[in-house]
Amino acid sequence: MGERTLDRTLLLHVGTHKTGTKALQAMLVLNQQALAAQGIIVPHTGRVYQSADYDTPGHHALAWELAAPPPYPLLDGVIEELQSLSARTAVVSSEEFGPIHHRIEAMSKLRAAFADAGYRTVVALYLRPQARYAESIFQQHVRDHHDLSFAALIDEVLDRGYREREDRRFEFQYSRMLDSLTAAFGGENIVVRPYLPDRGPEYLHRDFLRVLSMLHGSLSMDFTMTIANESYTLRELLHALRSALRDGEEIDERELGAFIRENDPHFDESMLGHRFLLLRYEEASAFLERFAADNALVAARSGARIPVRSASDLPPPEHAIWSEAEVHRRLFDAASRAWRR
């Protein structure tokens, strides 16, 4: 790539969102000493400090800085820390790098800065089926009080292949993300992995550590693990929606129960504790058709086969999951109308 010989490796984990990223970052921080003993560092610089005693495990502040024009003082600080510690391998992780993948100049600046510190950058990217990714991204938007129409999100993603908010791009046509990352870091330096939450909470951690060990060499796998990201229950999604629509106003369980009974007298209240389901069968099928060819291209380029590749991978239309999703969706839409000021 034109730089001097690089004898160290930096693993840049760029997400994507809702693929267990926070759990991975927490695992990295919990095991900082064990990693350092094996010659692997996780820089402190670039994290978001909430207080003197607590900081988030991901390097979100560094990613947010790169989303803006230079100068980049945090990046300078990360480089100083890397140079002062002189470890053979380093890990920088934030799902916030994902939405700036299309800012090739900024991402190239990141690669060049790491190269100046003596590190070859290898990018790790986890991908999940687009339909569930849309639900998960929407959960994040509701929590952050943004973009509260699920139907609008679906329309935008199926039309454009991405969801854009300000200067952040949540890419669903994954080959375009690979194109951007390849332009910035080189195709030989991109590692793509499928996100497989059904294999249990420790699978993601061990998969990530396997990627790390391929770059670093022999690595002890005896680490403290953390729980992978949990999706909202329907109850939690409704609470978050109320807060988003009413400027932080909470809804108590009695009021929520009364609202539900008014809108659906036959509602099974046990559903409130289930993972929320908003996608209808027709919408899930539309996602599958929209992105099947692109997922095949990603598999051919990277070897990562994204789950849900054909209609046979979806539960059939008569499956109970779709009837429950219909109930969740009707209730969510009713709440969106009723609680909007």
Over the stretch 188-197, which tens digit does the pLDDT of each residue have? Answer: 999 999 999 8
Average confidence (pLDDT) over 209-230: 83
To the nearest whole percent, how much of the chain has pLDDT over 70? 95
Name which of 78, 54, 56 is nearest 66 in CA terms. 78
User: E strands of 166-224, at which residues?
Assistant: 168-171, 190-194
CATH class of 8-216: alpha beta
Q: What Cα–Cα distance (Å) separates residue 64 from each residue in 36, 72, 96, 114, 165? A: 26, 10, 7, 17, 14
Sign of torsion over alpha carbons 295, 298, 303, 304 = negative
* Beta strands 162-165; 168-171: pairing state: antiparallel
Q: Which tens digit of pLDDT belongs to each residue from 98-124? A: 999 999 999 999 999 999 999 999 999
The pTM of the full predicted model, rounded to 2 decimals, is 0.92
Domain residue extents for the chain: 8-216, 234-274+310-339
Q: CA-CA distance, 82 to 117, in Å (whole number)?
A: 7
Amino acid letter for position 106: A
> pLDDT tens digits for 22-78?
889 989 988 989 999 999 999 999 998 766 555 568 999 999 999 999 999 999 999
Report CA torsion sign: 75, 77, 81, 86: positive
Q: Which residue has the tokens 């991901």?
A: 58
